[in-house]
A and B are shown apart, each in its own frame.
Chain A
Amino acid sequence: MPDGQLDLDTADIGDLDSYDGALGGLTRREFLNYCTGVAAALGLSPALGINIANAATTAPRPSVIWLSGQACTGCVETLLRTSHPSLETLILDQISLEYNETLNAGCGHQAENWKQEAMKANWGKYLMVTDGAVPTKDGGVYCKVAGKTYLESVQECAKGAAAILSMGSCSSWGGWPSTGVNPTGAVGLHEVIKDKPIVTIPGCPPNPYNFLSTVLHFVTFGKLPALDDKGRPKFAYGRLIHENCERRAHFDAGRFAMEFGDYGHRQGYCLYKLGCKGPETYANCPAIGFNDVGQGTWPVGTGHPCFGCTEQGVGFTKSIHELASLKSVTPPNSYPDVRMQKGEGASTGAVAAVAGIAGAAVGAGAIIASRLGKHDKTNDTNPGA
């Protein structure tokens, strides 16, 4: 980690086995396994894992400047939770992380000076990563670092960036700071940096492997993975959560949890009726899970409906238990289902009574109106009355 004083070790890490510590104690085999896994996450042939391993160890380490705006730091912290191998080993040693407010060893003027120096030294070549929304209201005064608004910082930093990467929903489209009344005028990075393409990794937090895989793709092939119209890597955001959800069969069969803790919920039925936003949210959560502890470690897997954190207009905007708008199929009605019609409908007598009351009111109104009409005429012809 740069602190402005230390001369960075730039020695070539060619022979992995002899360089103990570079991979956090991993053996060569374990490291290659990881790179093969990354290749699989990217949808590439496992053979390309070797390329990734080579790139991660031999390519010149690109400088990364990481800026944080209106964020909760969750996006940085989620990166710390990658475990095979851990982030500090692979990424912080493979890229050269010049500046990150959460991970900086230095602070104050020291850190700020280093950022300026790193930008100058790598102008046009560094990778810019941001997390957090950009406040724009009142000149952006709602987020300041080193006496400079965050708005100015990202504009300054973006000018010299080779590529820009938005980490998390706040940076990708504004996230929660931008929802509701949005008192600070928070927007996503793409709203203030318009002259450069921005890769977005939305999520709250996003799965760290989506970020890692994108960066390694960049390091390996020197270009970014295929992106969709919102700048999201297609390998991670190409499909609806609904399409890969392990509970999808229950949806198709018309089996829904209706309340937390009811029979259907305990059986692992589909959470659509509890407001799951999987049917309108693009992400690979069901496919790769979180925290490397096996299958089922994602919100829906634990029994809570997805709230659509990656999607603008869904996450933080729709209520948690509001029904998702289905983009593909609607739940079938033809199965004998658990969603019984509840409550009492109209009985003949009740409808008759309401119709009678309404009819009597209209009828009486008409009679009174016509009598009043006669009254008015009498008054017109006989103004003295």
Chain B
Amino acid sequence: MTSLVSHDAAPSAQPAHAPVGGRLVTVPFLIALAFVAIAGFILVQRFAHGIGAVSNLSDGYPWGIWVAIDVVIGSAFGCAGYVMALLVYILNRGEYHAMVRPAVMASLFGYGLAGAAVLVDLGRYWNFYHMMMPSYAQPNSVMLEVGLCVATYTIVLIIEFAPAFLERFGMDNARHKLSKVLFFFIALGVLLPTMHQSSLGTMMVILGHKLSPLWQTQMLPVFFLTSAVLMGFAIVVWESVLSALGFRRIMETAELARLSGLMVYTGLAFVVLRFVDLAVRGQLGAVFGAHGAVMFWVETLLMIGGIVMILPVASRRRGKALFVSSSLFLAGGIIYRLNVYIVGLIPAVGPWSYFPSLSEILITVGIFSLEVVLYLVFVKKLPVMHAVSTKHG
């Protein structure tokens, strides 16, 4: 990654990133590991006895939290790498460079685990490779686009993150070679999420009236892309404030202030566009009575809270405001995606009800715990964080 910018192109130059170091086995680490173990136990049940044995999925709700949270929301968390690569390499905003590598790592976990989570949700998971075979492909399918795109993007992310590995294990030669072709993968890494994040919205457009009018719109692809960008900004801000606190590092205040400006305008655009869309579709009245109206307000108020928190420019330099605002944006994005995929759904010939079973929840918790575990291992052992910003004293 570093080698892309000319001033430290030489592999022998002072490394810009360094492992955080410190003890690996800590209490949070062990708690997260315990949740991973519980999820592992339930996964054995799931693969031995089938999806019905552990989940509350039904004909009315064939997609539960494994899709809505693990894949749709998990991949939005993974959009950190997308927005940072877009800013740094496409818009040539080098000042954010220090934040790229942690962001790409967050994306790698988000997407890698989303891809793995799909296998849990696939009834006939042993056929998953059919997706890769052109002879089985239905080229007009949105789902095929999402599947292939996410799979490709995960590989691209591994390549984008590879310099960290190569640095750590001293493979400077390979790193130098990779740096010559990395631009191609970075371009792909910006193109692919643009495609599949919008397609995640397109998938619900075909549900027609089965999705509450509060969310059903031809604009769903636009909203999904906007919310992906928003959550990408939010996760970068959130992660760097938290790691500054947790690892006692100096906050990248100037970059965060500018980045949170982008975040707040994206959030503003999202909320305004939502209401414009409702007005154009003549569904403004639906916000007070349609299916899922309460959750619409939860989603909207979280977003507005995030905007209000850091609308004053001065507050964009305060860790607390940045943390609360990015948390609210993340929560708003989560609820928006949950609303589109589960809450707003009105299955035909009902009434149907769905609430995830404990086992389902624990698998999702386990997958996110695995993300925490991997994050801790990676930042402590690999050169991910910017090296110069270790706090003195």
Contacts and interface: CB of A to CB of B under 8 A. Distances in A.
Interface residues of B, number: 31
Interface string B332-374: 0000000000000000111111111110111001000000000
Interface in A313-332: 318-319, 321-322
B59 A342 contact: yes
Contacts of B357: 344, 347, 350
A274 B349 contact: yes
B355 A344 contact: yes
Contact of A371 (B245, B350, B352, B365): B245
A341 B352 CA distance: 6
Interface string B102-131: 000000000000000000000000000000
A341 B319 contact: no
Nearest to B364: A357
A321 B351 contact: no
Given A259-B349, A365-B327, A344 B58 contact: yes
A368 interface: yes
Interface in A351-379: 351, 353-354, 357, 365, 368-373, 375-376
A286 B112 CA distance: 58
B209 A368 contact: no
B358 A353 contact: yes
B245 to A, nearest CB: 6
A375 to B, nearest CB: 5
Interface residues of A, number: 31
A339 interface: yes
B323 interface: yes
Contacts of A321: 348-349
Contact of A354 (B318, B350, B361): B361
B56 interface: yes
B208 interface: yes
A273 interface: yes
B60 interface: yes
Contacts of B362: 353
A154 to B, nearest CB: 29
A353 B356 CA distance: 10
B60 A375 contact: no
A323 B274 CA distance: 26
Interface string B259-274: 0000000000000000
B287 interface: no
A347 B353 CA distance: 12
A357 B319 CA distance: 24
Given A273-B349, A369-B324, A376 B355 contact: no
Nearest to A318: B209
Contacts of A259: 349
Nearest to B393: A385
B350 A342 contact: yes
Contact of B323 (A345, A353, A372): A372
B324 A375 contact: no
B59 A357 contact: no
B117 to A, nearest CB: 17
Contact of B352 (A322, A342, A346, A349): A342
A274 B348 CA distance: 9
A341 B209 CA distance: 20
B351 A344 contact: no
B209 A322 contact: yes
Interface in B50-72: 56, 58-61
A354 B64 CA distance: 14
A382 to B, nearest CB: 12
A350 to B, nearest CB: 5
A344 B56 contact: yes
A343 B361 contact: no
B327 A343 contact: no
A350 B358 contact: yes
B242 interface: yes
Contact of B353 (A339, A341, A357): A341
Contact of B351 (A342, A353, A357): A342
Contacts of A274: 349
Contacts of A353: 358, 361-362, 365
B289 to A, nearest CB: 13
A287 interface: no
Nearest to A256: B349
A376 B253 CA distance: 11
Nearest to A351: B355
B320 interface: yes
A383 to B, nearest CB: 11
A315 B320 CA distance: 55
Interface in A60-104: none
A346 B320 contact: no
B18 interface: no
A349 B358 contact: yes
B14 to A, nearest CB: 25
B241 interface: yes
Given A347-B358, A351-B355, A372-B245, 20 more contacts: A258-B349, A273-B349, A318-B209, A342-B59, A342-B352, A342-B353, A343-B61, A343-B353, A344-B58, A344-B357, A345-B354, A345-B355, A347-B357, A353-B358, A357-B361, A365-B324, A368-B245, A372-B241, A373-B319, A375-B319
23 contacts: A258-B349, A273-B349, A319-B208, A319-B209, A342-B350, A342-B353, A343-B61, A343-B352, A344-B353, A344-B355, A345-B355, A346-B355, A347-B357, A350-B356, A350-B360, A350-B361, A357-B365, A369-B324, A372-B241, A372-B319, A373-B319, A373-B320, A376-B318
Interface of A: 258-259, 273-274, 318-319, 321-322, 339, 341-347, 349-351, 353-354, 357, 365, 368-373, 375-376
